[in-house]
């Protein structure tokens, strides 16, 4: 029997029991659609997190004060004051893999304008701070190093703070607000960035010269962290090594002494978050894959029923010259066609469900075409695997016993 005849016979057999064939395919349809949708959700979440981490800064590294020992007692990092402006200058002159560096200080409080107020955070940096953190201005200008030297009472305002104090869409450049009872003239408005991967609103900020925040608000001489941009993503490791060497020399640490600072990179954060989302994607795909397995068991079950119902037909075919191989291929093709047709419909449903989910919930969804191809291949394999044993059973029937079957 040639393949054309096999396909025709398989189609006739499936059409004979349309509802049963549809219900059998339904398990495969749901399984394939689930796998595609779940992997799309996982991949979309991964891409969203990567984009949000990238929005936090360009090839960014940051130094935080580390834990130190005093009198044999380990102190928390929040208790240390190991970073100063001199460290910033040392990094700037001693690390050629670092292209931009800025001190950072921050404080929380109420921003006030007229009768409006809003709880927010003010960050202090220098002229490089915006480029390091990938912030842009939509109006006004950046703070300058000259303003940092004289602790000028100027600031840049995030869109969230601007909307809460002045109203949506209003440009407050040139206006004066108060923060911690200190007047700040707004010299620019930051471009919207939205939430980061930790759910923090990146537009709910004020940015001022670090010396202004350091002296006028916090009344301290040390800085809370150092923000940097490496020359490129490939140079992040080199920059991290150079910064560590410079700071150990600057802090006069002996070879046997631990660092009193911690260096973290954007790449480390991205790698950690990506590994988490990869695990979640695999988990979602595995859960959805169970429904494919259930669909395959359904195909095996229905093929067993089909073999039992058509025992006399099998005996008749074999009595007029049909070979065992022909019988095996006939039932195997029916199983494969059930699986493949179900896979095709499942692919369409999976792509449609992913796009509808994204449109209705604004959930980040990214369809992986590799998952579509893989699901279709798995469907074919399932058709062969779960259809083989019933088909083999049909091929092994004795023609005489089959003809006598009632």
Say which residue the tokens 């969203």 belong to: 48
Quick one: 294 and 214 in the same domain? Answer: no
Q: Which whole number is the average pLDDT over 137-151?
A: 94
What mean pLDDT value characterizes the chain?
Answer: 81
Quick one: 111 and 16 in the same domain? Answer: no
Quick one: 378 and 316 in the same domain? Answer: yes
Q: Is the pLDDT of residue 111 over 90?
A: yes
Q: 212 lies in a domain? A: yes
Q: Is 77 exposed, middle or buried (0-12, 13-18, 19+ CB in 10 A)?
A: middle
Quick one: 276 and 397 in the same domain? Answer: yes
Q: 331 lies in a domain? A: yes
pLDDT greater at residue 159 or residue 332 = 159
Band (pLDDT 50/70/90 cuts) for residue 269 is low
Q: What is the pLDDT of residue 115?
A: 92
Quick one: 130 and 197 in the same domain? Answer: yes
Q: 64 lies in a domain? A: no
CB 57 within 8 A of CB 371: no
Q: 245 lies in a domain? A: no
Q: Which whole number is the average pLDDT over 377-402?
A: 70
Q: What is the pLDDT of residue 343?
A: 83
Q: What is the pLDDT of residue 169?
A: 86
Q: 262 lies in a domain? A: no
Band (pLDDT 50/70/90 cuts) for residue 67 is low
- Tell me the two tokens of residue 280: 């979640």
Say which residue the tokens 């989910």 belong to: 357
Question: Domain count of the chain?
Answer: 2
Quick one: 18 and 119 in the same domain? Answer: no
Quick one: 294 and 359 in the same domain? Answer: yes
Q: What is the pLDDT of residue 2?
A: 64
End-of-domain residue from the set 179, 206, 230: 230
Q: What is the pLDDT of residue 29?
A: 85
Tell me: the pLDDT tens digits for 44-54?
777 776 666 66
Q: Is the pLDDT of residue 404 over 50?
A: yes
End-of-domain residue from the set 230, 263, 286: 230
What DSSP assignment string belongs to 98-127? EEEEEEEEEEEEEEEETTEEEEEEEEEE-T
End-of-domain residue from the set 168, 196, 230: 230
Quick one: 196 and 276 in the same domain? Answer: no
Q: What is the pLDDT of residue 403?
A: 56
Band (pLDDT 50/70/90 cuts) for residue 58 is low
Q: What is the pLDDT of residue 71?
A: 42
Q: Which whole number is the average pLDDT over 168-175?
A: 92
Q: 83 lies in a domain? A: no
CB 325 within 8 A of CB 350: no
Band (pLDDT 50/70/90 cuts) for residue 69 is very low
| Domain membership of residue 216 as a residue range | 102-230
Quick one: 282 and 225 in the same domain? Answer: no
Q: 349 lies in a domain? A: yes
Band (pLDDT 50/70/90 cuts) for residue 314 is low
Q: 247 lies in a domain? A: no
CB 314 within 8 A of CB 397: yes
Quick one: 190 and 309 in the same domain? Answer: no
Quick one: 224 and 128 in the same domain? Answer: yes
Quick one: 302 and 187 in the same domain? Answer: no
φ, ψ for residue 359 (rounded to 5)? -70, -40
Instruction: Give the lowest-confidence range in 119-128, 131-140, 150-159, 383-392.
Output: 383-392
């Amino acid at each position: 029997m040639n393949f054309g005849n096999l396909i025709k016979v398989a189609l006739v057999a499936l059409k004979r029991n349309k509802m049963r064939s549809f219900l059998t395919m339904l398990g495969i349809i749901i399984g394939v659609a689930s796998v595609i949708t779940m992997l799309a959700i996982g991949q979309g979440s991964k891409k969203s997190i990567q984009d949000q981490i990238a929005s936090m800064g360009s090839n960014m590294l940051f130094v935080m004060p580390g834990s130190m020992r005093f009198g044999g007692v380990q102190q928390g990092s929040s208790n240390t004051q190991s970073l100063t402006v001199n460290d910033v200058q040392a990094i700037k002159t001693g690390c050629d893999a670092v292209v931009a560096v800025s001190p950072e200080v921050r404080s929380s409080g109420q921003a006030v304008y007229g009768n409006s107020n809003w709880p927010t955070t003010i960050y202090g940096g220098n002229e490089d701070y915006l480029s390091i953190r990938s912030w842009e201005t939509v109006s006004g200008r950046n703070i300058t190093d000259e303003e940092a030297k004289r602790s000028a009472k100027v600031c840049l305002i995030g869109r969230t703070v601007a909307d809460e104090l002045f109203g949506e869409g209003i440009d407050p450049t040139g206006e004066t607000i108060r923060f911690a009872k200190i007047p700040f003239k707004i010299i620019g408005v930051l471009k919207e960035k939205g939430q980061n991967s930790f759910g923090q609103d990146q537009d709910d900020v004020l940015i001022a010269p670090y010396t202004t925040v350091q002296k006028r608000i916090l009344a301290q001489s040390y800085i809370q962290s150092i923000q940097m941009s490496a020359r490129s993503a490939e140079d992040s490791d080199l920059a991290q090594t150079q910064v560590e060497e410079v700071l150990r020399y600057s802090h006069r640490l002996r070879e046997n002494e631990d660092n009193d600072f911690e260096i973290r990179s954007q790449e480390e954060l991205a790698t950690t978050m990506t590994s988490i989302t990869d695990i979640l994607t695999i988990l979602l795909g595995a859960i959805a894959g169970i429904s494919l397995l259930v669909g395959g068991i359904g195909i095996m079950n229905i093929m067993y029923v089909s073999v039992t119902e058509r025992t006399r037909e099998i005996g008749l075919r074999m009595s007029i010259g049909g070979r065992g191989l022909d019988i095996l291929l006939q039932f195997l093709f029916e199983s494969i066609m059930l699986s493949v047709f179900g896979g095709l419909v499942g692919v369409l449903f999976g792509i449609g469900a992913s796009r509808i989910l994204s449109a209705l919930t604004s959930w980040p969804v990214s369809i992986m075409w590799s998952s579509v191809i893989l699901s279709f291949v798995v469907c074919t394999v399932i058709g062969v695997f779960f259809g083989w044993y019933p088909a083999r059973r049909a091929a092994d029937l004795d023609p005489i016993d089959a003809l006598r079957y009632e």
